[in-house]
Structure formats: C-alpha cells, structure tokens
C-alpha cells in the first residue's frame, strides 16, 4: 500500500529540521499512525549526514524481473511435486502393497513422466534462481521487490498447506493403527521436500524484511 504524502512530507520536514528519528516515530505513533507505515516512512530516507534528508532508492520491477520470478517459483513447485511423485513410485516398488493390483506398465509410464518433468524443470529452476540471485547482488534494492515477496508468500502458503496435510495424515493413520513403513517413508518424503522449501524461503523472507522497505 502506498504511503500517505502527508506522512512522507511530515517525516521529510522533521528530518530536515534535525529531529531524532526516535522522536519523530514516537510523535507519529502517539498521533495514531500505524507502526508499520511509520517504519516505512522513516526507512524512505537514508540515515546519513547531509543538509537535507536523502531518499533511499525505490525498488523497481521490470517485466523481465516479474517473468523471471514467475518462472523460478513455478519450476520450483513443479520440481518439488515431481520429485515427491517419483520417490513415491520408488517407495511403492520397494514396499509393494499386497492388496493392490499390479499396474506395472502404468507405473513405468508414470515414473518416466515424473523423471522427465524433473530433468527439465529442475535445471530451469536452478539457472533462473542463479540469474535472480546475480541480479540481486548487483542491485540489492530488488530484494524488496513486491512481486518477489508476494510469490515467496504464495510458496510459503503452499508449503505450509502441504505440511499441515502431511501431519493430518500421520495423525489419522496413527489413530487408525495403519502406520506402515511404506506410509512413514511417504510422509517423510513430503515433509522433507515441503519443509526444505518452507524453511529456505522463510529465511529468505526474514532477510528481505530486515532490509529497509520503501
């Protein structure tokens, strides 16, 4: 959400007069301004010594950047899904269900599809992630990109839903007394893939939010 021009103007004028940032912050909070907006308004100006307040650079996202972020997160989800499905097939082969019918041909075709998807999606994800990381190192303001942050939150949401569903299935099967090795291995597979993605992007998000936001 864009900040009020009145809020930005007040902060700019206060800093121009040499008032301490903490005093400006407390005055705005007492006036009823939301703490998050006050923080963003103060972070709009660099904490450097100069005759007038120095604005921070505003992060901009080009169509290319948005495209790269969408491709990166899409291929991440595809890679995670197909890796999990492939491991499920391998677990089914290692610990077959005695009561299930034998669909060997369909299993082979499914395994081939998951493997093919993984071979294509994973290198694309790694390459695009490398390009995005290189761009961020060259231009650190891109770390606070709204598109990047929104897609990160979407990824966290998907990963958290998968983890919650995974834990629910554990409790359900535990109460049913059906915790087989086959089932436990599948649960661990889902937890490892979704948990790794969740932990990594949560760490990235915390690092992003530690950066000044405009």
Summarize pLDDT for 28-40 with one digit per residue, the tens: 999 999 988 888 8
48-83 residue pLDDT tens: 888 888 888 766 667 888 899 999 999 999 999 999
What was the pLDDT predicted at 70? 93
pTM of the model: 0.70
Instruction: Say whether both 90 and 146 belong to one domain.
Output: yes
Instruction: Say whether both 134 and 196 belong to one domain.
Output: yes
Instruction: Say whether both 93 and 189 belong to one domain.
Output: yes
What was the pLDDT predicted at 147? 84
Between CA 82 and CA 203, with CA 77 as vertex, the angle to 5 degrees is 125
At residue 128, the 3 state secondary structure works out as helix
Give start and end residues of each alpha helix (H) in 20-145: 21-30, 35-43, 63-94, 104-138
- Mean pLDDT, residues 180-190 taken together: 92
Q: How confident is the model at residue 25 (pLDDT cuts 50, 70, 90)?
A: very high
Residue that wins the pLDDT comparison between 126 and 214? 126
Percentage, residues of the chain above pLDDT 90: 48
Those residues whose C-beta lies under 8 Å from the C-beta of residue 128, and which sit 6 or more positions away, are 68, 71, 72, 75
Those residues whose C-beta lies under 8 Å from the C-beta of residue 29, and which sit 6 or more positions away, are 35, 38
**pLDDT, the chain, mean:** 86
CB 156 within 8 A of CB 201: yes
Mark residue 18 as left, alpha or beta (left: phi above 0; alpha: psi -120 to 50; beta: remaining).
Answer: left
Q: Please tell me the total count of domains within the chain.
A: 2
Instruction: Say whether both 85 and 10 belong to one domain.
Output: no
Instruction: Say whether both 107 and 33 belong to one domain.
Output: no
> How many whole angstroms from its chain centre is CA 196?
11
Instruction: Say whether both 83 and 170 belong to one domain.
Output: yes
Q: Which of 170, 172, 167, 171 is nearest to 195 (CA)?
A: 167
Instruction: Say whether both 82 and 160 belong to one domain.
Output: yes
Per the structure, the complete domain to which residue 70 belongs is given by: 63-210
Q: Which of 159, 165, 138, 135 is nearest to 147 (CA)?
A: 135
Between CA 152 and CA 138, with CA 127 as vertex, the angle to 5 degrees is 75
């Amino acid at each position: 959400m864009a900040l009020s021009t009145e809020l930005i103007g007040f902060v700019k004028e206060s800093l121009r007069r040499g008032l301490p940032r903490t005093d400006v912050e407390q005055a705005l909070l007492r006036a009823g301004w939301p703490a998050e907006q006050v923080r963003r308004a103060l972070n709009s100006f660099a904490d450097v010594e100069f005759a007038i307040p120095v604005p921070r650079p505003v992060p901009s996202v080009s169509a290319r950047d948005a495209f790269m972020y969408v491709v990166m997160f899409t291929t991440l989800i595809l890679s995670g899904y197909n890796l999990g499905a492939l491991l499920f097939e391998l677990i089914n082969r290692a610990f077959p269900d005695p009561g299930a019918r034998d669909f060997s041909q369909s299993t082979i075709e499914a395994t081939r599809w998951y493997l093919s998807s993984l071979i294509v999606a994973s290198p694309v994800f790694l390459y695009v992630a490398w390009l995005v990381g290189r761009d961020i190192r060259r231009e650190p303001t891109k770390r606070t990109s709204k598109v990047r942050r929104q897609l990160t939150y979407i990824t966290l949401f998907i990963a958290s839903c998968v983890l919650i569903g995974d834990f629910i299935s554990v409790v359900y099967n535990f109460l049913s007394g059906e915790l087989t090795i086959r089932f436990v291995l599948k649960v661990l597979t889902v937890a490892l893939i979704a948990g790794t993605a969740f932990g990594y992007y949560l760490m990235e998000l915390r690092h992003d939010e530690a950066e000044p936001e405009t």
